[in-house]
Structure 1
Amino acid sequence: MGILEVLFLFVVSFIFSVIYASSDCQFSFCGSNNIIIRFPFQREDEQNPYCGYPGFNLICTNNSKALLKLPHSGVFYVRNINYLAQKIQVYDPDDCLPKRLLSLNVSGSPFIHTFTRNYTFLSCTFQNEGSQFIPIDCLSNSTHFVSAVPSLNLPNPLPASCYVISSLFVPVAGQEQQYDSNFKGEFSQDLVLTWDTPDCRYCESQQQLCGFDRNNNNQLFCFSYQTGPSQQGIQIFRIITLCIAGPAVIFAIVMACCVCYKDRLANISNIAIARSAPATVLPAPQIVTTGLDESTIESYEKVVLGESRRVPGPNGGCCWICLSEYNSKETIRCIPECEHCFHADCIDEWLRINNTCPVCRNTPSPSPLHVTSINP
């Protein structure tokens, strides 16, 4: 590589390093299921007033759990975050969601529950087999059986062995859900909360990120994955960088030309000396291939995602290379040994220049080629 090529690479690397440094809000992963933490969320131990929205702090524990702490209802484990729908799916650390619902209070937090249904919680001294009073296991014991019944279906009068614990509105999955005879299943599901502010749904629908524009009174701003949170700020950095680097590049080019001229004179002298010396045969340079060949790459499993967008193996909801969330009908490719999956285009390009998995750094080996499809 010549001096001019080295100089060019140095200048380009310098310019892009300045541009990249202007965006100090980085993605992070938390939990055993690799939950992506990005605006409006941020880790509690990485506080930056421009990288998160007030009230959207998450705690990453040493046991690979992502925690959401509500001011009046305590801590919940986070199972998933849907940034496009602006929903967060949480569950009780003690696996007793009905107990948490009895005292659930989301006030003081940016989260709300969209749909609620009025339930009456009852305590009975014996289990009513075959009736609508189906015990909630984590609230019941050998002498008292706690059940939840829709208030509209509450029998009148109540059985003599039962009394009302509480009657309250309980968050449910959706308004269209119909009553049935088994209300226990509804309380075994996760709690789904949503938020209205900040509203980043437009940015997410355009496959862009959402963040604060520091040069516009902290207004929300859509930006692509390749740019920083403030397009105007990046332009300023580019102008400053070019003003500084421009004269330096011109000076360096002049110096490089002088060095090249001096080297040319030295080469002429060396050629004259070499003509009088016996010729030597130099070994041909070896071409080192760092990536995998196409046949090995094509031998790895391809999967076409269904409507559920479920990805096999220890994978999250997005590609670890491009950081884009998976969509239905997309084709992903999985590495057989570690079962890590990525967009097929992303991992193919990666493996052509690298021979290791981008997540665990294990070196994969060929496997039988086959394409599967995950049904919803």
Structure 2
Amino acid sequence: MTLSVSLQHRLGAFDLDVAFKAPTGITVLFGRSGAGKTTIINAVAGLLTPQAGRIASDGTVMLDSTTGRNLPPHKRRVGYIFQEARLFPHLTVRQNLGYGRWFAPKKAPREDMARIVDLLGIGHLLNRRPAGLSGGEKQRVAIGRALLASPHILLADEPLAALDEQRKAEILPYFERLRDEVSIPILYVSHAAAEVARIATTVVALEGGRVARQGPAADVMSDPAITPLGVRSAGAMLDARVQAHHADGLSTLEAEGATLLLPRVHQPPGTAVRVWIEAQDVMLATEEPRGISALNVLKTTVTEIRRGAGPGVIVQLSFGGALLLARITRRSAEALALAPGTPVFAVLKAVSVARDAISDTPRAQDQQAK
């Protein structure tokens, strides 16, 4: 199932003109506040009518400005997860979930409530009311309610924005499970790079109401030209596999033949995970460093150098089939005589990689292999 979106809309000085496709999995609309992310998903939901455009999902046309077709929200089969859970306070969790099922079309295949409850880990909450739930628990119930309405598309407008870091860490693994186990497109709004790298199947990078780039998450997030949030947020997503765990709280991971020591990963050896590495945490050396505290030294090759107006540059590096970004000063790049093709060593401290920058949920291919 694929969602196809083409929109043109002007609101005051803001001009939105985008076109993209969202396949099954999580497609993240990624960019600064004001880039048009929420406008897009509100248009998909039918909460906003754009001046021109077309929205369709596998033969079902929800909007076509050329023919005048514009389905109302309740006929679009769209589930919407807001920043706030918006649960009914007088109903139990079980009753809130049942409310979602009440909206499912009679002829639509019914989602199994037991499966959704298990998927979201909310079985122990069923008899409780929203006042007794944490922010993360409320959001998981809100997700379940949306899924039980049997939607064709699931929309999530910065669903973690209202949560503290602990609650975000609690709920991110459930979005990873949704990505791998729910067979509908999920359109997800975010401006947090590490969050995007963990959960996205596809990324649509937005800048000023336009699509700067779209494609597989690893490709878009590792592009030195795509920095919707500025160079300070630049980084790269690595696919890695857990090799071993150590008594000192570190885990050994393998990525494209290279070994990484990172904070403990809560998955058994052999599991494939994602790792987000910020460009500002990567140092470069033209000779192999010795006698340093950093535990990770990777042999890489410079593939691209992106120079901005300021004193910094973004250097794209390759090793095996993976890409890495480093943010260094222009002076350092000149002193090291960096150019495409230059072999360099990328140096990364294990403690530089935040615990929430490593996925907790096995990727889909691992689950399919079981």
TM-score, normalization by structure 2? 0.24
Tell me which protein shows more strand as a share of its residues. Answer: 2
Structure (1 or 2) with the larger CA radius of gyration: 1
TM-score, normalization by structure 1? 0.23
RCO higher in 1 or 2 (8 Å CA, sep ≥ 6)?
A: 2
